[in-house]
Amino acid sequence: MSLFITFEGIEGSGKSTQIPLLAQKLRDLHHPVIVTREPGGCPLADRIRRLLLCPDQEPMAPEAELMLYMAARAQHMREVILPALVKNIIVLCDRFSDATTAYQGIARGLDTAFIENINRFVTSGRRPDLTLLFDLPAEEGLRRSRRRNQDCGIETDRLERESLDFHRRVREGYLRLAAGDPERFRTLDASLPVAAVSAAVAAAVLPFLS
């Protein structure tokens, strides 16, 4: 069974806590699973990720930023996602094409129809079967991600340094995308405790396993 699930949400929405929990549940049910992420997931895309997120990067033109995310996605798709799907391995991907529409399209103001076209090109038209949107207010997400960075001694990355307004636009963008494609999206309340969110994730995914 080929199943491609993506996880979307603003910074601090808890995706990276929930993805391993779901992966373990699926493995317990004897499903082969890989966990991957964007930008990144293979050596070339990981190098592009470092360029994109490095806080010391000189100011990046929005058009250049868009093309770097797309280049990373093209390589990741060819090298990791499509080969896994062909082998009927379930792919859990932390962020994917909706992130580009929400961040570079809706929040930065680039043309979303153009972004959709390039997304189709770099993904060979393979869309996620299910997209889980972890939704919470931008203030709360940024508070959580700053606390996590402090606790783990991680430097705040280039995107996390964007304004609260930018992150609010990303959230609104994601909600708009979810409202426009209710078949593919499930929106989860990411402000709930971890166990409650994990139960909601399992409830959303289990129907796709039969």
- Positions in the binding site for ligand TMP (CB under 6 A): 11, 37-39, 69, 95, 99-100, 103-104, 159
Nearer to ligand TMP, 73 or 90 (CB): 73
State in angstroms the smallest separation of the CB of 29 from ligand TMP.
Answer: 27
State in angstroms the smallest separation of the CB of 103 from ligand TMP.
Answer: 3
Nearer to ligand TMP, 37 or 171 (CB): 37
Q: Residue 206 in 3-state DSSP?
A: helix
The residue among 75, 86, 73, 87 whose CA lies nearest residue 6 is 73
State in angstroms the smallest separation of the CB of 207 from ligand TMP.
Answer: 26
Q: Residue 12 in 3-state DSSP?
A: coil
Nearer to ligand TMP, 28 or 56 (CB): 56
Nearer to ligand TMP, 31 or 82 (CB): 82
- Most distant pair of Cα atoms in the chain: their distance: 49
C-alpha pair distances (Å), 147 with each of 25, 78, 116, 155, 192: 28, 35, 34, 11, 17
Nearer to ligand TMP, 87 or 120 (CB): 120
CA distance 206 to 146: 33
Q: What's the CA dihedral at 134, 89, 74, 103 to 10 degrees?
A: 0
Structure-token pair, residue 42: 């293979």
State in angstroms the smallest separation of the CB of 17 from ligand TMP.
Answer: 12
Contact yes or no for 177/119 (Cβ under 8 A): no
Cα-to-chain-centroid distance, residue 83 = 19
CA distance 28 to 206: 13
State in angstroms the smallest separation of the CB of 84 from ligand TMP.
Answer: 18
State in angstroms the smallest separation of the CB of 1 from ligand TMP.
Answer: 25
Nearer to ligand TMP, 87 or 143 (CB): 143
